[in-house]
Amino acid sequence: MKPQFIIVAAVVVFAAIRLTLRQRGRRARAGAPSSSASSSASSSMSLEARRPSVLARLFGEVGLVAQREVRERIRGRVFQIGTIIILLVVVAAIVIPTLNKSKSQPDRVGVVGALSATLKSTLNQSVVSIGDTMTIVPEADTAAADADLRAGRVDIVIVDTKQLIVKAAPSAADVSTAAQLSRVFATTLGTIAAFQAAGLSAAQVDTLGSAKPLPVTSLQPSTTHRKPSPGSIVSLILVFIMLTQYSTWILTGVAEEKSSRVVEVLLAALRPAQLLAGKVLGIGLVALTQATLIVGVALGLSSAVGSNLLHGSGPLTVLAALLWLILGYGFYCWMYAAAGSTVERQEQIQSLAFPLSIPLTVGYIVSLITASTGRPTTFLKILAYLPPTAPFAMPTLVSLGSATWWQFAISVVLSIVSTFAVARLATSVYRRAILRTGRRVRIREVMSAKQTA
Amino acid sequence: MVADVVGLLEMRGLTRRYGPITALDGLTFSVQAGQVVGFLGPNGAGKTTTMRAIFGLTDLDAGEVRWNGATVDQPARRRFGYMPEERGLYPGMLVGEQVAYMGRLHGLDATKAVTATKMWLERLGVADRWASKVDVLSHGNQQRVQLAAALVHEPELIVLDEPLSGLDPGGIDDIGAVLVERASAGCCVVFSSHQLDLVEDLCESVTIIDHGKLVASGRVDDLATSGARRLVVRLDGDRDASWARGLAGVTVSEVTGGAVRLVLDESVDSDVVLRAAMAAGRVTEFSFARRRLSEVFREALA
């Protein structure tokens, strides 16, 4: 199933690049802006000039706007501190579970005296039943075994198949390796001893020792749900934080330009659509940079410490989250920009931010609950196809293995199509509202202005 | 005169209605490059709306703006410079970067934008504020930065909305000098003001509007010397100019600081006025004066 996901993601990226290039080509034919130059000035002031402005060359005026946005945002304290905090959280989320987890090394069982092959394989099976493996460490005598146990070189000691020694007496609720080992070993060894005392042959003891529980058939088909992966929960939280952060930047950025009247000067040189596209592109690039950094650190660190993020659905979850962060940003940024253009004063931003954040929050919470219970509900499955909530719901389905590649693809296509529709609508609202001052612009006015203006 | 003109800004029948209010009512006038033109009128006359129309910042119900004979479009506007009344700068952005950014948006390459920014900030006396954020600057310095942002790309047409409001005399002189220098370099410089008499020294020509219509237009010299004659008469101890009020064909236009400003009908002999003044007291001042722009405005509406 996995390769299909990757193919879908690659196709999306490829299509986006093709589209951008084609638009660029059209602009270039219409009359390209002058080329940028390399600088000769050497004062600190000309730093700006020396930096090759890739964005400006790629996208003309839109690139200039985006470039300013990237520079101002990356320089800002919000971005720098925010990135550091997120990275710390990610590092903690990856490293801490690997510390708690009984290292993937086998459990070390110290053995004083001989251990029959039958007993060895029976013990082995019981260790496998608690999800571990074991190695036998032969001990010379009880004193040496005690010393090894104290020093932590072995987890448990079996003395002549008659006695079990652990470092500290485990309580009933203890789930540490030593406690689990002592429980299963005590039962197994006791049972085997009873079989032997009953005078059974070695073969009979072997048969009884390797008894397997009966398979249980249920009348209702079993729903396949996986163990919730911490990776999917962390990436859900990050996607939510970043989507909220960057769409709020769009909202406040547009509103700031309008209320400070900078927009008057900018629109004397730019078309509204160029200014808007530049802002969306610039903040989007900042978001993508931050996300790439986080994913890079997460994957690199995971492979370094052997986290389970790289196993099972882990990498897929991360890639799906990254793709949906981009799609989610694409969808929401236009709505927030349109809303920002109707603001007259900065304090009106608050009253707009709340209703806009509702679909985002609903998608997030429903997905978070699903990710932690591991049971996708029908409601979540519906949300996974709605562009406002899909950025959370679809990656959750993917991480639970409950989405096929074509379901994923349908949701991606729906999101892209609706993003184009929202972008068109938002640009038209923005164009009409951004220069209106005096009071807050009502959406209905902006829509109906089409006929009268 | 028209022969060596390089730029011509034309407003043709600009009309803009906001609901029941008509901001611009078929406004038509033109402005030639190479001079500083004052765009005058009382508050609410439609000056800002006209200026916004030049930059496509307001939709027009009718009419068009033309530059050098062609309808103004986006590429043409990139060669214009605009300084709006409610200043437009990013509060948190560094001064130098902000001005350079405006230059880039108007088509300068990165190197040129930085060089021009340095030049203009120096010229306007705020070069040391390159790395300051805009919102820590004083009002006067913000205005200078704003002007630098409007001029950085060497625009052909410079439009400034109330550039002198709130400035101290030093600031008015500095900004005025830059505007005059730009005009003599061949630019078309248009600036608005609601204080009609303040700008007489600064501009060569004026266009005066009211209620979205043209009131008067022409060279300041022509407007000031045309119309009825004005006399300024000062009498020792006279405070209310009662001596002049009975004279036929003479209107008292104002009394300030002991001097009375009289408007004479064509038939009135100034000697008659002088004799009446001398009869009322000791005459310390008796001179003909130019017509003020505020008088041009008032008389055109009368």
Spell out which chain B residues touch chain A, with contact meaning CB-CB distance below 8 angstroms. 52, 55-59, 74-75, 77-78, 80, 82-84, 86-93, 96-97, 100-102, 104-107, 109-115, 118, 130, 149-150
Q: Which fold has domain A106-209?
A: D-Maltodextrin-Binding Protein; domain 2 (3.40.190)
Read out DSSP for A332-369?
Answer: HHHHHHHHHHT-SSTTHHHHHHHHHHHHHHHHHHHHHH
Nearest to A72 among B74, B93, B149 (CB): B93
> Taking CB atoms and an 8 Å limit, are B130 and A45 in contact across chains?
yes
pLDDT at A434: 86
Instruction: Spell out the residues 6+ positions from residue A286 whose beta carbon is closer than 8 angstroms to its own.
Output: A69, A70, A73, A74, A79, A246
For A239-282, what is each residue's pLDDT tens digit?
999 999 999 999 999 998 988 889 989 998 999 999 999 999 99
Confidence band of A125 (pLDDT split at 50, 70, 90): confident
List of chain B residues whose C-beta atoms are within 8 Å of the C-beta of residue A438: none
Neighbours of A25 (CB within 10 A): 10
Could you tell me which of B81, B63, B66 has the C-alpha nearest to residue B23? B63
pLDDT at A348: 84
Chain A's closest residue to B92, CA to CA, is A72
Residue B198: enclosing H or E segment and its boundaries?
none
Neighbours of A42 (CB within 10 A): 9
SS3 label, residue B22: strand
Range list of β-strands (E), B168-212: 188-193, 205-210
List of chain B residues whose C-beta atoms are within 8 Å of the C-beta of residue A38: 111
pLDDT at A207: 79
Beta bridge partners of B32: B8
Say if residues A282 and A79 touch (Cβ distance below 8 Å).
Answer: no
Neighbours of A139 (CB within 10 A): 23
Could you tell me which of B194, B148, B250 has the C-alpha nearest to residue B48? B194
For A382-402, what is each residue's pLDDT tens digit?
999 999 999 999 988 888 888
| Cα angle for residues B275, B279, B283 (degrees, 5° grid) | 75
Q: Where are the domains of chain A?
A: 2-22+55-96+229-448, 106-209
- In whole angstroms, what is the distance from residue B17 CA to residue B1 CA? 36
> Taking CB atoms and an 8 Å limit, are A39 and B114 in contact across chains?
yes
The CA distances from residue A366 to A233, A323, A414, in Å, are: 12, 19, 20
What is the distance between the terminal CA atoms of chain A, rounded to a whole angstrom?
53
Pinpoint the alpha helices (H) of A133-229.
142-151, 177-197, 202-209
The CA distances from residue A153 to A128, A168, B275, in Å, are: 20, 15, 126
Cα A91 to chain centroid, rounded: 13
SS3 label, residue B20: coil
- In whole angstroms, what is the distance from residue B231 CA to residue B284 CA? 13
- In whole angstroms, what is the distance from residue A201 CA to residue A192 CA? 11
Could you tell me which of A380, A143, A331, A71 has the C-alpha nearest to residue B90? A71
Pinpoint the alpha helices (H) of B78-232.
95-105, 110-123, 139-151, 169-184, 220-225
> Taking CB atoms and an 8 Å limit, are A48 and B75 in contact across chains?
no
pLDDT at A33: 36
Average pLDDT over residues A310-327: 82
Confidence band of A129 (pLDDT split at 50, 70, 90): confident
Amino acid at A208: L
Say if residues B43 and B196 touch (Cβ distance below 8 Å).
Answer: no
Confidence band of A367 (pLDDT split at 50, 70, 90): very high
> Taking CB atoms and an 8 Å limit, are B102 and A256 in contact across chains?
no
pLDDT at A247: 93
> Taking CB atoms and an 8 Å limit, are A36 and B101 in contact across chains?
no
- In whole angstroms, what is the distance from residue A185 CA to residue A126 CA? 7
List of chain B residues whose C-beta atoms are within 8 Å of the C-beta of residue A71: 97
Percentage of chain A with pLDDT > 90? 28
The CA distances from residue B24 to A247, A431, B17, B210, in Å, are: 39, 22, 7, 9
Say if residues B31 and B52 touch (Cβ distance below 8 Å).
Answer: no
Confidence band of A50 (pLDDT split at 50, 70, 90): very low
Chain B's closest residue to A54, CA to CA, is B110
pLDDT at A48: 42
- In whole angstroms, what is the distance from residue A311 CA to residue A2 CA? 12
Nearest to B91 among A31, A260, A265 (CB): A260
Nearest to A61 among B55, B87, B105 (CB): B105
pLDDT at A382: 93
pLDDT at A337: 94
Say if residues A44 and B96 touch (Cβ distance below 8 Å).
Answer: no
pLDDT at A442: 64
Could you tell me which of B64, B57, B67 has the C-alpha nearest to residue B32? B67
**Phi, psi for B2 (deg, rounded to 5):** -70, -25
Cα B215 to chain centroid, rounded: 14
Nearest to A265 among B88, B110, B118 (CB): B88
Nearest to A41 among B83, B93, B111 (CB): B111
Could you tell me which of A121, A134, A246, A252 has the C-alpha nearest to residue A188? A121
* Rg of chain A over all Cα atoms, to the nearest angstrom: 31
Say how many CB pairs under 8 Å bridge A and B.
99
Residue whose token pair is 């000791």: B282
Say if residues A297 and A91 touch (Cβ distance below 8 Å).
Answer: yes
Mean pLDDT rounded to a whole number for chain A: 79
Cα A309 to chain centroid, rounded: 10
List of chain B residues whose C-beta atoms are within 8 Å of the C-beta of residue A263: 88
> Token pair for residue A191?
């049972």
pLDDT at B194: 84
Higher pLDDT, A229 or A84: A84
- In whole angstroms, what is the distance from residue A439 CA to residue B155 CA? 33
* Rg of chain B over all Cα atoms, to the nearest angstrom: 23
| A41 lies within 8 A of chain B by CB | yes
Chain A's closest residue to B77, CA to CA, is A269
List of chain A residues whose C-beta atoms are within 8 Å of the C-beta of residue B87: 261
Burial of A261 (0-12, 13-18, 19+ CB in 10 A): middle
- In whole angstroms, what is the distance from residue A374 CA to residue A358 CA? 24
Can you give A105-145 as a three-state secondary structure string?
CCEEEEEECCCCHHHHHHHHHHHHHCCCCEEEEEECCHHHH
| Cα angle for residues A204, A207, A212 (degrees, 5° grid) | 150
> Which stretch of A11-25, A232-246, A427-441 has the lowest confidence by average pLDDT?
A11-25
Surface of A (401-440) touching B: CB under 8 A:
435
> pLDDT tens track of chain B, all 302 residues?
343 446 889 999 999 988 888 889 999 999 989 999 999 888 888 999 999 999 988 888 999 999 998 999 888 999 999 999 877 899 889 999 999 999 999 999 999 999 999 999 999 999 999 999 998 999 889 999 999 999 999 999 999 999 888 888 888 888 889 999 999 999 999 999 888 777 888 888 999 999 999 988 999 888 888 888 898 999 887 778 888 888 888 888 888 877 888 888 888 888 888 988 888 888 989 999 888 888 888 888 77
> Taking CB atoms and an 8 Å limit, are A36 and B113 in contact across chains?
no
β-strands B229-235, B259-264 pairing: antiparallel
The CA distances from residue B130 to A49, A442, B93, B111, B171, in Å, are: 15, 39, 10, 16, 19
For A171-193, what is each residue's pLDDT tens digit?
777 777 777 788 888 888 888 88
pLDDT at B197: 77
> Taking CB atoms and an 8 Å limit, are B58 and A268 in contact across chains?
no
Amino acid at B259: A
**Phi, psi for A21 (deg, rounded to 5):** -65, -40
Beta bridge partners of A350: none
- In whole angstroms, what is the distance from residue B295 CA to residue B301 CA? 10
User: Which domains occur in chain B, in start order?
Assistant: 2-224 (3.40.50.300), 227-301 (3.30.70)
CA distance B105 to chain A (A): 6
